[in-house]
Structure 1
Amino acid sequence: MSEISVADLLQAARDVTAAAIAEPLRHYRAGFSVEQKADESPVTIADRETEAALRQAIAARFPDHGILGEEYGSEGLDRKFVWVVDPIDGTKSFISGSPLFGMLTAVLRAGKPVAGIIRMPALGECYGGAAGVGSDRDGTPIACRRGVTPEKAFLCINEANGLMADHPAAFQRLMKFGAYQRLTYDCYPYAQLAGGQVDAVVDYNLQPYDYLPVVPVVEAAGGVITDWQGQPLTLESDGRVVAAASVEIHAALLRTVAGSLS
């Protein structure tokens, strides 16, 4: 089998997520039961059916690729290409009727995320990005905002509850960062960052299927995204994320969370 291009991987990710949209939407704002997982996070039939549809489509198209998903675990993580999927990123948003839940997909090549999709089924938006290809929203090129200093930045603070509980000093510093701060959740702030609406996102306590799909979208839009120590995000990262529109804002945020890494 010939080597598949990054552009083709991005298009494949776009296709398989588009084909799975019907699964969450037929349950959205409809009656369904909510279960609690071992970590006390919610899960619904929509999460499971959506991931099953994604896995089936990926396996049919790329039977030699590995896959990691939130609901059904992993297989073939040692393979050259690995897909990482989160069928409904933001189940709390989904069960409360908020349209800000997403469908996330990344393709890793030799462990590095090279193509990613942030699809927002209820909003009808799809953000894609790939190394050397660029980022787009529904086919229209997008880019991170330029010319904003750290002092003028608009910062989204994800998972504020956990941050306040575990790193209160860092949280207080973040609440004074830049010109605007907004407490946010789930994946949409990364789409806003890539699209030039906000300038930075700080996140906490994530899993690989939460953060790896957004990496190519942010990077291909000209942004910077790492862990809190400034290291690249991988399957083994600790789930703490700093993303920014520029190296300058990113560096200022790393200084802001410094001392909260234990």
Structure 2
Amino acid sequence: MPELDRIMNVALALADASSCRASNSWRGDLDVAYKADGSSLTEADLSIEEMWRERIRRDFPSHGILGEEFGSDAGASAYTWVLDPIDGTRQFATGLLNFASLISVCREGFPVLGIIDLPLPRVRYVAAHGQGTIFDGRVVRSSGQREIEPSKISLANPDSFAGDTAPGYERLRASGRLRVFDGGAPAYGALSRGLIDICLNGDDLDPFDICALCPVVTEAGGVITDWEGQPLSLTSSGAIAASASPELHSTVLSMLGSPHESGESV
């Protein structure tokens, strides 16, 4: 069995186990703590990542691991697992539904496998290099939309756009046919199945927020980069954008640039 297929089998088993644990926790009495940066933390964040790490160390002892809750363990192979047990803990901890569990594997620093698992309603997006994007057992594709005017746009929490990212956010917020807000990782999954055309996040992301999104978007025909148009990797952080087609992405990047770059008068 090719190595990536073997990794995928384990990643899916991890997602199966965490989905049950996350949904059960969400239904129960959530005990919410807060990290030093003010972000939310629940027992599910900790227990899921611990469970994942134990299985990965057992099955792939040479692989590296980078997780949101327990940091980085260097590996001796080309592969690194990038883990976010509850992406959207703020929503999870307040009883909302737009959270996900994110599992990614990077090879030589670049994402080659991504899972966006939605414990509620128990569906997931799965993608691996050269194998397409699968949602609920079927292959999905982005809309291929090329124009900004009819686009459906998902914008992250407005509080995440500050300083240099604020003008670009405002330009996108005034564009498109339809705008939704604070969709989190599920919005990038929705882009892969043609329901959203553009996703935009501000400069508050880390690699464990980013890596799983990349194969899901690109294997469905979309494009995902940082705001400068650079590829995303294990070391990426900050603002990102995804679009349903290369043509649309080019337009989005021009709008995210400086007023001069985006064609506005100064």
Sort the TM-score into its range (normalised by shorter chain): over 0.9
Q: What residue identity is the alignment partner of 2:213?
A: V
* 2:264 corresponding residue in structure 1: none
Deviation at 1:19, TM superposition (A): 2.0
* 2:13 corresponding residue in structure 1: 15
* 1:61 corresponding residue in structure 2: 59
Q: What residue identity is the alignment partner of 1:234?
A: S
* 2:263 corresponding residue in structure 1: none
Aligned pair in 2 of structure 1 residues 203, 77: CA closer, same or farther (>3 Å)?
A: farther
Matched position secondary structure for 1:152: coil
Distance 2:187 2:212 in 1: 13
Instruction: Give structure 2 stretches of 5+ with no counterpart.
Output: 260-266
Correspondence for 1:183 among 181, 188, 198: 181
Residues 164 and 171 in structure 1, CA contact (< 8 A), matched pair in contact too: no
Please list, as runs of the form range in 1=range in 2, the aligned pairs for 1:129-168 lying within 5 A after superposition.
129-163=127-161, 167-168=165-166
Residues 68 and 77 in structure 1, CA contact (< 8 A), matched pair in contact too: no
Deviation at 1:139, TM superposition (A): 1.9
Structure 2 length-normalised TM: 0.91
Is 1:197 aligned to 2:195, yes or no? yes
Instruction: Give structure 1 stretches of 5+ with no counterpart.
Output: none
* 1:221 corresponding residue in structure 2: 220
Matched position secondary structure for 2:27: coil
Residue by residue over 1:179-206, the C-alpha shift from the partner in whole angstroms, topping out at 9 and shown as x without a partner, is 2221123211001000111101011210
Residue by residue over 1:19-71, the C-alpha shift from the partner in whole angstroms, topping out at 9 and shown as x without a partner, is 22222122113213211111110101111011111111212221111100000
Aligned length: 259
Correspondence for 2:33 among 32, 35, 38: 35
Distance 1:253 1:78 in 2: 38
* 1:250 corresponding residue in structure 2: 249
Residues 144 and 222 in structure 2, CA contact (< 8 A), matched pair in contact too: no
Q: What residue identity is the alignment partner of 1:193?
A: L
Distance 2:192 2:9 in 1: 18
Distance 1:122 1:98 in 2: 10
Deviation at 1:92, TM superposition (A): 1.2
Structure 1 length-normalised TM: 0.93
Matched position secondary structure for 2:238: coil
Correspondence for 1:118 among 97, 116, 139: 116
Distance 2:126 2:144 in 1: 20
Aligned pair in 2 of structure 1 residues 37, 206: CA closer, same or farther (>3 Å)?
A: same
